[in-house]
Amino acid sequence: MITSELPLIQDSVESGQDTVSLSMSMSELDDIGDGKTKKKRGRPGRPPAPNKKPRKSPSEKGPMGVQRGRKANGMSQQNGEGDPVTLFEVVKQGKSAMQSVVDDWIESYKQDRDLALLDLINFFIQCSGCKGTVRIEMFRNMQNAEIIRKMTEEFDEDSGDYPLTISGPLWKKFRYNFCEFICVLIRQCQYSIIYDEYMMDTVISLLTGLSDSQVRAFRHTSTLAAMKLMTALVNVALNLSINQDNTQRQYEAERNKMAGKRANEKLELLLQRRKELQENQDEIENMMNSIFKGIFVHRYRDAIAEIRAICIEEIGVWMKMYSDAFLNDSYLKYVGWTLHDRQGEVRLKCLKALQNLYTNRELFPKLELFTNRFKDRIVSMTLDKEYDVAVEAIRLVTLILQGSEDALSNEDCENVYHLVYSAHRPVAVAAGEFLHRKLFSRHDPQAEEALAKRRGRSSPNGNLIRMLVLFFLESELHEHAAYLVDSLWESSQELLKDWECMTELLLEEPVQGEDVLLERQESALIELTVCTIRQAAEAHPPVGRGTGKRVLTAKERKMQIDDKNKLTEHFIMALPMLLSKYQTDAEKIANLLQIPQYFDLDVYSAGRMEKHLEALLKQIKFVVEKHTDTEVLEACSKTYSILCSEEYTIMNRVDIAHSQLIDELADRFNHSVEELLQAGEEADDDDIYNVLSTLKRLTAFHNAHDLTRWDLFGNCYRLLRTGIEQGSMPEQIAVQALQCSHYSILWQLVKITEGAPSKDDLLALRRVVKSFLAVCQQCLSNVNTPVKEQAFMLLCDLLMIFSHQLTTGSREGLQPLVFNPDSTLQNELLNFILDHVFIDQDDENQSMEGDEEDEANKIEALHKRRNLLAAFSKLIIYDIVDMPAAADIFKHYMKYYNDYGDIIKETLSKTRQTDKILCAKTLILSLQQLFNELILDQGPNLDRTSSHVSGIKELARRFALTFGLDQIKTREAVATLHKDGIEFAFKYQNPKGPEYPPPNLAFLEVLCEFSSKLLRQDKKTVHSYLEKFMTEQMMERREDIWLPLISYRNSLLTGGDEDRMSITSGSSSSKAASVRSKKGRPPLHKKRIEEESVEGAWMMRNDTLQTPGALQTPQLTSTVLRENPRQAAEHLSEQNSEPGSESDYVHNPQMQMSWLGQQKMEEVNRKERTAVNYMKARSGGVRQTVRGLMEDDAEPIFEDVMMSSRGQLEDMSEEFEDTMVIDLPPSRNRRERAELRPDFFDSAAMIEDESGFTMPMF
């Protein structure tokens, strides 16, 4: 028996001590008795000893004290003050210390085990969100399965939420308190109660049953409780193991003493203690086995990801806490298997659990087999689709690398290396840490310092920087140096800021016996150096990483300022030397000239370093005179622009040097131009080179500097005019002259807009712009493609700049500068797009396949073509070029979808926002163009099943989808589209006679794609308009050749009330009776009048419509309808004499906007006449029984029959009973129609026939 003399067991994990003494107070052991006996579940335990004193008086008891009121069945009562009285409420509110709550429960357990356990059982039930309560009789008489089944019925079925899934700070705190309660409960009971074979058996049995429930709330809550319970038991087992080792050590020490000094009583006591500890250890192991095999093994593969994540998270804790027992393959395999889980949340828990293990290097021997087995999976997870998982996988691989470099192969490392170029910054930074550990942590400091001293370097990082350069070159991603630097910035910042070492490597002379940097390595090092300077000066990731510039903390801001001062002080002196060494290498010079933009230019004057400024300006001037590469010249121009900033005192000195340089270049340019023009066709290569090289330099500087006082426009214009007149100007000179002239015009415009220009200044600039636009227009016909492309881009830019928007913002005085392109210029711009953008390159692509360089060239060419199309599309969007010109662009939407689909779709969207009706007419115009092209290609007899016809229909379907779901907003636009389509279809008659279909009739099949975008009442209006073009013979024809008309008419009658033409084939179909949809007759005397009044009111709302300008089809070779000239000549007179023709519609805005209303008016008048005729016919004896409900906007079928067959009413009446059937389509959108117009039918209205049969209308 454990006596009171035994030392108290301490929690070794929480106290942090290696050894724990073993002792229990008598108050904790009162309920143990003289021996341990098995107690059956449900029987009350032995009452407490009579001398046992409670810890608190009844008045001092906490909410879980034994003095609280109870019902006879064990349920807690609510006290009068509203304080929490259930264990669930106490833990939920978290107002009491968990230690106190658990102590109170232990006291109640010692007084009545059943009631205390009942509290604990109800606690788990209520934590699951169940409203039910387990009563004492249920606890004593029912099995766990029966109790759980009973509680399942008490769940709230209205909501799937339960405490562990409800969001909010209260429930987040509850989860923490729930877990803490279980841990404290086991810790407080670890000395006695958990060994009574009653409390733990009951709890584990209950949690095992709940974890196997079909109810997610039970399963989730019980699994979390069981895993935390297991964690607490592992802690107890660890304490017992430590105490066993201590006891064994004390026993061995006592036994090894000499016989005279050996204390036999102490040996017996130690033996007894060791035996009791072993018994306790066995019991704890049994409990843990029950939880592991009964719950974990089943729930780690639960269908719910959260439950699987809980299991994996806790097994990681067990393996780290008690590695001797759990860190073996029997348990590690569960984590390894779960690395393949389909949910990122679970995979993330696996990786974090493994990170906790690999952090401890002492555990690596036990993890060796696991590493070999699952290493490939871990490395592959660095490419996980979930970025959080990929980051943790990279960190885990880094820990494996730190523990054993041999564990990862070169291939494994290479899989991680390339992630430093990832666009996702956390992934890249984690990969940068791995790269730092792998490549930059294995150096010998002493040897490198010795080498640095021998070479006279101030830094020992030379070899590491060389290694960085080699890695950058071998990665073959040379355009992403900024990404590599950003990835390494947090882990290797000290190395990356060692600009002294980088400069020494670039400037040092080769020494015999030592490797020097090759030319490629020097270029890479310069690029990396510039990227480190940018990162330090701007203190934010490069473009493409991160969501934007974040606000720097005070510490980061101070570091940024210090770094900027440090790099400025160093490179002010080093940059002129670097420029001097690499002055002939264009690539290196272009990179080095980016450095001054990150300088703190005040250091020049504050540090009295003007001599270094002079050296820099001298080197830049030499570079300008030496190079003609555009990138180098633009870098020089930008450097001068930065150094000339007005806020710095060095501005005057730099401006003088800049002006001197431009003076020299301008004089040289003027002289060389005169020589070239005088030489004419006899000009040699030297004359051409002198003009071109000087013009390139001036153009590069004119981009960032105002050079208008040197009047470069004059000579550039002379060069262009000479080239146009003689046709012998080299293309590069023409391209540069166009660009330089463009810059000159823009700088003149800047001067005018910033000042108060006179009228003469405006007229002078207008003359310049007009002459330059004329030159650019003439250059569009140049034989050299680069010249044409340059002229086109400049034309688009200038037309955009000098458009009507120039006068906005109180700048009405600039009206003389506004230019509107005439139809000729618009025509030439559009022709250029058709000739240079929408081109077929299949043959060229096939010849270039497999060549990476050619692939890059194709991508560059596509990028250029996209820019050309975007420039022209902007002119259409901003109403600078007439919208109908867009028809030739829209018609290529499907064919060139992969290349230009996004640009065309955005253009369509913007033009619709400008003018819906005009945009709709442009869409139908594009379809008409494609149809005419097909007619010219295949002839009038089209194969409607061919891929070409299907392509036009698919394009129409795509166009229809762009109208969206709001049919009210697009009502007029869609109706106008149908009107234009109908007129196009019936534009010409067939030369063979009226019994043959019109040549364009097949276009109606294309028009069917837009019928679904018509409102119900507009379908009838469009159908009435269609019937104006139809003869009686057309209405009766059913041959295949008339199918487009039949299909289109049926699409307009879908869901409506008109007759539907049957689609039949063969000559016999004309004799068959057509199938029609008929309806009963509503009271016409009421319905007609009210309908007409509403439609008439809507029809007259012309004041709410915006009237656009007249729509004129541009006279362009590429956009005119490609018609058959003979057909056009035959029907020209008919077209001119037809009232309401396209020409009338185009040139009459009022007619254009009110067409739908006019059709409504004509339909109303026709209905009035039809109603009178129908009533006369009805009085003749034609009766029909009402067989169904009428739609609120339905019309009787007789109206359509009378309109279609005109005079055949008598025949129709005679055969009415045999040929007419009631076939009412269901109302598909009654609510939509109710919003369009009010319901004029009373719900009590009745339809009554002679038999007295009545039926409510609704």
Question: Residues of 1188-1226 as b/e, b for ≥16 C-beta within 10 angstroms?
Answer: ebbbbbbbbbbbbbbbbeeeebeebbeeeeeebeeebee
- Is pLDDT above 70 for 396? yes
Encoded tokens for 885: 């010109």
Decide if 1044 contacts 943 (C-beta within 8 A): no
Section 1179-1184 average pLDDT: 40
Overall pTM surpassing 0.75 (yes/no): no
- Is pLDDT above 60 for 1145? no
- Is pLDDT above 70 for 33? no
Which helix (H) or strand (E) is 1247 found in, with range? strand 1246-1248
- Is pLDDT above 60 for 844? no
Q: What is the pLDDT of residue 300?
A: 95
Residue pLDDT, tens place only, 673-705: 999 988 877 788 898 999 999 999 999 999 999
Q: What is the pLDDT of residue 756?
A: 82
Higher pLDDT, 127 or 48: 127
Using alpha carbons only, give the angle 356, 360, 363 rounded to the nearest 5 degrees: 105
- Is pLDDT above 90 for 810? no
Residue pLDDT, tens place only, 200-256: 999 999 999 999 999 999 999 999 999 999 999 999 999 999 999 999 998 888 888
- Is pLDDT above 50 for 486? yes
Q: What is the pLDDT of residue 550?
A: 77
pLDDT-derived band at 856 (thresholds 50, 70, 90) equals confident
Encoded tokens for 526: 């310069």
User: DSSP alpha helices (H): ranges in 8-143?
Assistant: 12-15, 87-93, 98-111, 113-127, 136-141
- Is pLDDT above 90 for 152? no
Report the Cα–Cα distance between both ends of the chain, in Å, rounded. Answer: 89
Q: What is the pLDDT of residue 428?
A: 95
Lowest mean per-residue pLDDT among 651-665, 768-782, 861-875, 931-945: 931-945
- Is pLDDT above 90 for 1203? no
Radius of gyration of the chain (CA): 45
How many Å apart are CA 1082 and CA 1257, to the nearest integer? Answer: 9
How many Å apart are CA 390 and CA 384, to the nearest integer? Answer: 5
- Is pLDDT above 90 for 529? yes
Percent of the chain with pLDDT over 70: 73
pLDDT-derived band at 748 (thresholds 50, 70, 90) equals very high
Q: What is the pLDDT of residue 937?
A: 85
Decide if 689 contacts 679 (C-beta within 8 A): no
- Is pLDDT above 60 for 94? yes
Q: What is the pLDDT of residue 944?
A: 77
Q: What is the pLDDT of residue 403?
A: 87
Mean pLDDT over all residues of the chain?
78
- Is pLDDT above 80 for 1240? no
Q: What is the pLDDT of residue 93?
A: 85
Q: What is the pLDDT of residue 1059?
A: 40
- Name the residue type at position 131: K
Lowest mean per-residue pLDDT among 128-132, 820-824, 831-835: 128-132
DSSP structural state of residue 296: I
Section 57-69 average pLDDT: 36
Section 1007-1016 average pLDDT: 92
Q: What is the pLDDT of residue 1159?
A: 60
φ/ψ of residue 710, rounded to 5: -90, -5
Alpha-carbon dihedral 637, 642, 644, 648, rounded to 10 degrees? -170
- Is pLDDT above 60 for 766? yes
Section 937-942 average pLDDT: 80
Section 736-764 average pLDDT: 92
pLDDT-derived band at 448 (thresholds 50, 70, 90) equals low
How many Å apart are CA 724 and CA 682, to the nearest integer? Answer: 17
Q: What is the pLDDT of residue 710?
A: 92
Residue pLDDT, tens place only, 540-583: 999 888 766 778 899 999 999 999 999 999 999 999 999 999 99
Q: What is the pLDDT of residue 1153?
A: 44
C-alpha dist (Å) from residue 413 to 160, 407, 475, 626, 888: 46, 10, 13, 45, 53
Q: What is the pLDDT of residue 569?
A: 93
Higher pLDDT, 1236 or 531: 531
Higher pLDDT, 1069 or 844: 844
Q: What is the pLDDT of residue 492?
A: 92
Residue 660, Cβ neighbours under 10 Å: how many?
Answer: 12
**Pick from 704, 780, 766, 789: nearest CA to 740:** 704
How many Å apart are CA 187 and CA 177, to the nearest integer? Answer: 15
Q: What is the pLDDT of residue 1223?
A: 33
Section 4-14 average pLDDT: 33
Among 83-87, 141-145, 401-405, 586-590, name the most confident range: 586-590
**Residue 136 falls in which region: left (phi positive, over 0), alpha (psi -120 to 50) or beta:** alpha
- Is pLDDT above 80 for 896? yes
Encoded tokens for 1115: 């006279």
How many Å apart are CA 632 and CA 225, to the nearest integer? Answer: 69
How many Å apart are CA 1207 and CA 242, to the nearest integer? Answer: 111
- Is pLDDT above 70 for 1199? no
- Is pLDDT above 60 for 362? yes
Interstrand relation of 1246-1248 and 1254-1256 (parallel, antiparallel or unpaired): antiparallel
- Is pLDDT above 50 for 198? yes
Residue pLDDT, tens place only, 279-294: 999 999 999 999 999 9
Q: What is the pLDDT of residue 1120?
A: 35
- Is pLDDT above 80 for 260? no
Decide if 983 contacts 1141 (C-beta within 8 A): yes
- Is pLDDT above 70 for 478? no
pLDDT-derived band at 852 (thresholds 50, 70, 90) equals low
Q: What is the pLDDT of residue 477?
A: 61
Q: Which residues contact 1204 (CB under 8 A, 6 or more apart)?
A: 1027, 1035, 1059
Residue pLDDT, tens place only, 434-444: 999 998 775 66
**Pick from 358, 344, 451, 350: nearest CA to 398:** 358
**Residue 624 falls in which region: left (phi positive, over 0), alpha (psi -120 to 50) or beta:** alpha
**Pick from 972, 970, 950, 948: nearest CA to 960:** 970
Q: What is the pLDDT of residue 1163?
A: 60
Among 18-22, 385-389, 1111-1115, name the most confident range: 385-389
Higher pLDDT, 1013 or 156: 1013
